[in-house]
Amino acid sequence: MKKGKAYLVGAGPGDIGLITVKGLEAIKKAEVILYDRLANPKLLDFASPHCEFIYCGKLPQRHHLRQENINELLVEKVMQGKIVVRLKGGDPGVFGRVGEEAEALAKESLPFEMVPGISSGIAAPLYAGIPVTHREYGESFAVVTAHDKSKDGKPSLDWEGLAKGVDTIAFYMGVANLPFICENLIKHGKSVETPVILIQWGTFGRQQTLEGTLSTIADLVKKEKFSNPAITLVGEIVKLREKISWFEKKPLYGRQILLARTGTNESALAKKLADEGADVIEFPKWKSERIKLDVEIMGQIESYEKILFTSPESVTDFFQSLLEYRMDVRKIKAYFYGLSSKSVKAINEKGFLAELASNMPHEGKLLIIGDSSIEKNKPNFTIEFGTGDFLITSEKTVDEQFVPIFKRMLEEATLNTMIFPSSGSVSMFVEEVVEKGILSKEEINQLEIHCYGEETYKMATMFGFMTQAVEGNRTNEEMVQSLKLV
């Protein structure tokens, strides 16, 4: 029997770019991932298509899985010979209870590794423009839990030591006990005018901040209905934010975008949007499995004069199949076309010139190559491009494991923007989201809807979406730029 192993991994504070290289490697080879609420679910995109996901998220007074159950699951899955990743927000060693999980594994003599992550108490302030140490403002820094295991959850701390001996204090999840915290810091020597900042969803595009002093912040939190997850930072160093705040100045900061997804590859558009400060949720999440190509069509491949690739993935699958079939690509005499600029780029990367489908002549024998979704769209392809043969390279289906993940992401986000990158993305989104009751058409129409190109706009309008912007462009850079101008 294969020997299992556990990796206790820090997912970082939210921005998926802050995951460590070692943490990402563990995710990629995992067979089971037990993940927390504060671990960005987008990290699960990097897992194997066959990986099992188990949600261990916790909310105050509402535990999805209690800690003892998580410990038992870890032990059970490793004993089954699985590579198991326990994915925890921030750093697992900072209020992450990683010690308890490691003890449970060690008790059964099971192998494990601890993989540090970037702690929220350091990262969230930095994304708010505040380093936690500075020679002029503070040379000491403490991380403190804002609740404990006592019945009332109020932390029992060395308040005098914190108030008089530490320049900057980061309280984790301190919203509920904020009045108690402020009262004790003032009582034990901190000035009532000491600056305080709360940073909610730090490093996410939906990051929000609330500033005050020890004497005002509790009332401000109540008035603004500010809630966890949040880091509370106390100290004179908070004043630096006025000079070096940077994250909120990104052009797409505050954009919470739902991006209709059509491919299985990582989205270059989603990355560009995130790089500019947006929070991006992609759905549906697709999985693909290559299938044996139609022997009859492959046997007459040299007879086609035009080959239309419907996705970048279909380009990769087709050329990979040629190698496996030991078929010389020089037998193909056809001109290559792509349904989108991404498909054209994928063809070019294989060393062939290609054009967009909109430039394809009507004359000539046509072969349309794509995944299983082209089957149901045969009538549309025929109307637009004329009669042709169809070659399916892979079976594409929605990864159902991501449906509950998507629903949880929607609960914690406040969407304001919707992007349809292609006409095909509209119909797929309607089928997998609207018709399955995950989001209604009315809810989507409350968002600012953007479309790539006239064809996408027509398709969105046909399905009843109130599109507020028509993008005649074809590049991700132009889409990002157009969002900056709105």
Q: Which amino acid is at 382?
A: T
Q: Which tokens go with 53?
A: 């996901």
Contact 183, 194 (CB under 8 A): no
CA–CA separation, 217 and 222 (whole Å): 9
Contact partners, residue 190, CB within 8 Å, separation at least 6: 163, 214, 234
CA–CA separation, 392 and 376 (whole Å): 12
Q: Which residues are annotated as catalytic?
A: 36, 58, 173
Name the β-bridge partners of 86: 8, 34
CA–CA separation, 430 and 213 (whole Å): 48
Q: Which residue has the tokens 């100045």?
A: 249
Contact partners, residue 330, CB within 8 Å, separation at least 6: none
What percent of the chain is helix, strand and coil (3-state, nearest 5)? 40, 25, 40
User: What DSSP assignment string belongs to 224-289?
Assistant: HT--SSEEEEESGGGGGHHHH--GGGSTTTT-EEEEE---SSPPHHHHHHHHTT-EEEEEPPEEEE
Sheet containing 448-452, strands listed edge to edge, beginning at the edge strand earlier in sequence: 279-283, 256-260, 417-420, 448-452, 469-471
CA–CA separation, 401 and 180 (whole Å): 41
- Which alpha helices (DSSP H) does 57-96 contain, by range? 67-79
